[in-house]
Amino acid sequence: MKRLHSLVISLILFSVSFSLADQAIKYTVLRAEPQHPRVTQLVTQILLRNHYKQLDLNDSLSAQVYTNLLEILDYNKSYFLKSDIESFKPFKYAFDDFLLSGRLDVPFMIFNTFQQRMAERLEFIFKRLETPFDFTKDEYYYPYRDSLDWAGSAAELDEFWRKRLKNEALSLKIAGKDDDNIRETLTKRYGNLKRRLSQNQSEDVVQIYLNALSSCFDPHTSYFSPKAKDDFNIRMSLSLEGIGARLITENDYTKVVEVIPGGPAAKSGLIKADDLIIGVGQGEEGEMVDVIGWRIDDVVQLIRGKKGTKVRLQLLHDPNALLLDAETILLTRDKIKLEDSAAKADTLHILSRGQSFVYGVIDIPAFYQDFTAQRRGDPNYKSTTRDVRRLIREMQGQGIDGLILDLRGNGGGFLSEADSLTGLFIKQGPVVQVKDSRGRIMQEVDRNPSVYYDGPLAVLVDQFSASASEIFAAAIQDYGRGIIIGSQTFGKGTVQSAADLNRYFPGSKYKYGQLKLTIRKFYRVTGGSTQNRGVMPDVDMPSRFEHDEVGESSRKNALAWDHIAPAPYVPENEVTPETITRLLRQHQIRLTQDSAFAAYAHKVEELRHKKRPQRYSLNLEKRRAERQDKEEDDKKKKKTDWGLLESGRVLSDLILIQKDGRR
């Protein structure tokens, strides 16, 4: 480790303000509180000793912490100046020392500089909004500064922010607002950012700093400050009465990270993970409140409400879309019941080579289990395996030719349910291997030799099928029990554990927060991990997204794929490599001969290669023309569920191939 000469940075708690007309921009210069050095040292030690990924606290890690800290604060290089970065650089290789000793003056100095720069930006913004924009000029807004060097002067940032404001104003102009309404809307929007600046607390700085460290280990490891922990627990306990969506703040936007199965959001089909919420309105006619720049707890407070009441949300489905492209949806708040998120069955009718087939389709939104009902002895307690078993029995009574399990969008759940569900389809044997940070390997094993369903089976997955979904799909594939159809799955093959830090300081009057860290990793029975790579389907469906854009591999410092020794197991080989080759041949024929399917695949391929816009025209007429083209394109979209339809076709091919083999 490199040692620095002692540097004394005196931080005095006081308020700073910039006055501009009726906009007073205030923030508090923050400093560490007595408990913060202790929690910094504790989190550092826990990560180094217990995280699955063994890292050394050295200059290399110090440089990562430094880079992460700047990215968390100013991801788009929109606030800091190059002179600020030059003043920070002497500390780049000293964060290892700071973490071990609990020294926090430098992280607080960097954060307070950021606050100062944000205040200066807000001063410019409110002054610029006093003058209307000229939308006849032929100029462009380049939104992404992440690949550029830091701005050399305030004037350079002024020009970037002028065009950013003009871009937002133009979106409102096309949406029908006049100059006064545009100024009012944007003043309110950036007033929210001003309010957030004034609400920063010392524990926010510590959380940002420790997450700059934790994210060096993997993307699922994070530190929650006491306030963030309390807010999270409140949201979790109340998330079952509202719209059924979990939210985070990302780049001044409220982002949907999960749509809870069975909730109003999921039932509507109008909101999905990664959507951005930019406005919230109460009831069918209440004022739409612009929430760009709001704190997450304030947005949640607006969205949350009593069962039966209505809330309107303005959504951006594409982070690169214009604000005027936002869709407004109406949801009725409700309490989410477990049965609403349970597996559901339907049938699919397919005509193939002159023969009719009827398939049972079971949609499994999550791997769930009602432990409370089970503990109190309820014989009808709900679980994924019990519900799927019942649905199979009901459909078999009606007569089905095969079964399709739809795991698209299934983010996982209880490992025990993935294990027991697999047991419905295989004779017996290991389902998944689990390795801990000490190298110890355990197996989850199905010990029941009976098979509940032994007919033709297809499992439908997509890039958002993760964790327990991947364990199940991998086991079905490795045993050769069924055909996997769809796109490469997410690739989350790790297990996290939460540590309440207060238990390390019994009797303390302070709160210390919580650390979530990765402690185990999943491996298939063949030995390969589901981490990072996920599960590759046997029959690949067109997908808009590349795996390295939305999957685990797209996330910074994601744990790598690796393998261990295979577990002893007996494949059932109902689907052999030779069979898959024949199924792929038929699939490719349909892609070329079915004009509607081919058009769908072509459109998906176009979207896959469509790059994010590098610039936006700030000319009103050009922008209107771009919007009209987009609206015409949207009208051409069809709602055919090609994934489900093709699953039925592939399963029909499988049945016919198996019949041929038995003749």
Catalytic-residue membership of 492: yes
Residues 612 and 321: their CA atoms lie apart, in Å, by 9
Distance CA 89, CA 215 (A): 20
pLDDT of 20? 42
Question: Do 387 and 448 share a structural domain?
Answer: yes
Task: Pick the catalytic residue from 62, 214, 215, 467.
Answer: 467
| Sequence-separated contacts (24+) of 391-396 with Cβ below 8 Å | 391/343, 391/344, 391/345, 391/360, 391/362, 392/360, 392/362, 392/424, 392/452, 392/453, 394/345, 395/345, 395/347, 395/360, 396/360, 396/453
Residue 254's CATH number:
2.30.42.10
Q: What is the pLDDT of residue 337?
A: 63
Using alpha carbons, select from 597, 583, 611 the residue that is nearest to residue 642.
Answer: 597
Measured distance CA(370)–CA(260) in Å, rounded: 16
Let me know if 640 is exposed, middle or buried by CB neighbors in 10 A (0-12, 13-18, 19+).
exposed
Longest dimension (CA), the chain: 88
pLDDT at 222 over 60: yes
Annotation marks residue 467 as catalytic: yes
Instruction: Identify whether 408 is part of a domain.
Output: yes
Q: Give backbone dihedrals phi and psi of 423, rounded to 5 degrees, phi first.
A: -65, -20
Q: Look up tokens 């297990």; give the residue.
A: 495
**Is residue 197 domain-resident?**
yes
Q: What angle do CA 73, 75, 78 make, to 5 degrees?
A: 90
Reported pTM: 0.85
**Token duo for residue 410:** 């299934």
Is 112 within the bounds of a domain? yes
Residues 416, 300 share a domain: no
Higher pLDDT, 653 or 327: 653
The answer to the question of residue 636 being in a domain is: no
Same domain, 485 and 389: yes
State residue 288's pLDDT score. 85
Examine the domain organization and report whether 96 and 146 are in the same domain: yes
Contact 307/335 with Cβ under 8 angstroms? yes
Question: Of 53-62, 403-412, 475-484, 606-615, where does mean pLDDT reach its minimum?
Answer: 606-615
User: Which of 162, 186, 217 delimits the end of a domain?
Assistant: 217
Q: Average model confidence (pLDDT) for the chain?
A: 88
Residues 398 and 304 in one domain: no
In a domain, 275, yes or no: yes
Does residue 181 form part of some domain?
yes
Q: Do residue 288 and residue 392 come from a single domain?
A: no
Instruction: State the CATH number of the domain containing residue 577.
Output: 3.90.226.10
The pLDDT, as a whole number, for residue 612 is 67
Instruction: Check residue 151 and report its DSSP letter.
Output: B
Cα separations in angstroms, 497 against 52, 438, 500, 512:
11, 15, 10, 17
How many domains would you assign to the chain? 3
| AA identity, residue 637 | K
Task: Clarify whether residues 175 and 309 are in a common domain.
Answer: no
- Residue 335: enclosing H or E segment and its boundaries? strand 334-335
Q: Of 307, 335, 363, at which residue does a domain stop?
A: 335
Single-letter residue type at 377 = G
Confidence at residue 8, expressed as pLDDT on a 0 to 100 scale: 34
In angstroms, the CA 534 to CA 490 distance is 6
Residue 209 and residue 70 in contact, taking contact as beta carbons nearer than 8 Å: no
Helix (H) or strand (E) holding 329: strand 327-332
366 plus 300 within the same structural domain? no
Give the mean pLDDT of 395-421: 94
Domain presence at residue 1: no
What three-state secondary structure class fits 16? strand
What does the block give as tokens for 112?
């307070």
122: left (phi over 0), alpha (psi -120 to 50) or beta: alpha
Q: Which helix (H) or strand (E) holds 463?
A: none
* CB atoms inside a 10 Å sphere around CB 602: 12
Query: What is the tens place of the pLDDT at every residue in 87-100?
Result: 999 999 999 999 99
Which entry of 255, 382, 435, 492 is annotated as an active-site residue? 492
Among residues 643, 15, 141, 568, the alpha carbon closest in space to that of 363 is found at: 643
CA distance 531 to 176: 48
Q: Do 331 and 342 share a structural domain?
A: no
Q: What is the dihedral of CA 139, 144, 150, 151, to 10 degrees?
A: 20
531 phi and psi angles, rounded to 5 deg: -65, 135
Q: Which domain range does residue 269 map to?
A: 240-335
| pLDDT confidence bin for 21, thresholds 50/70/90 | very low
Give the C-alpha distances (Å, rounded to integers) separating 310 from 239, 382, 641, 645.
16, 29, 29, 35
- Catalytic position from the list 290, 387, 478, 538: 478
Provide the residue type at 475 as one letter.
A
pLDDT above 70 coverage of the chain, percent: 90
Do 523 and 446 reside in the same domain of the chain?
Answer: yes
pLDDT of residue 195: 86
* Distance in angstroms (rounded) separating the CA atoms of residues 124 and 165: 11
d(CA 560, CA 553): 8
3-state secondary structure of 555: coil
pLDDT tens across 530-570, in order? 999 999 999 999 988 888 888 899 999 999 999 999 999 99
631-649: pLDDT as tens digits: 555 555 557 899 999 999 9
Q: What mean pLDDT is predicted for residues 435-457?
A: 95
Beta bridge pairs of residue 190? none
In the prediction, which pLDDT does 340 show? 62
| Rg from Cα positions in the chain | 27
Non-local (6+) Cβ contacts of 323 within 8 A are: 168, 171, 172, 175, 278, 316
| Pair (328, 351) in one structural domain | no
Taking only the tens place, the pLDDT of each residue in 109-164 is 999 999 999 999 999 999 999 999 999 999 999 998 988 999 999 999 999 999 99
Q: Is residue 125 part of a domain?
A: yes
Coil, strand, or helix at residue 471? helix
Domain boundary among the residues 319, 335, 351 is at 335
- Same domain (yes/no): 578, 565: yes
For the segment 293-339, what is each residue's pLDDT rounded down to a tens digit?
777 777 888 888 888 899 999 998 876 666 666 788 999 988 766 55
Report CA 488 to chain centroid distance, whole Å. 16
The CA-atom distances, in angstroms, between 225 and each of 56, 228, 468, 513 are 24, 5, 29, 5
State yes or no: pLDDT of 273 exceeds 70. Answer: yes
Count of beta carbons in the 10 Å neighbourhood of residue 109: 18
Which single residue is written with the structure tokens 């032994």?
454
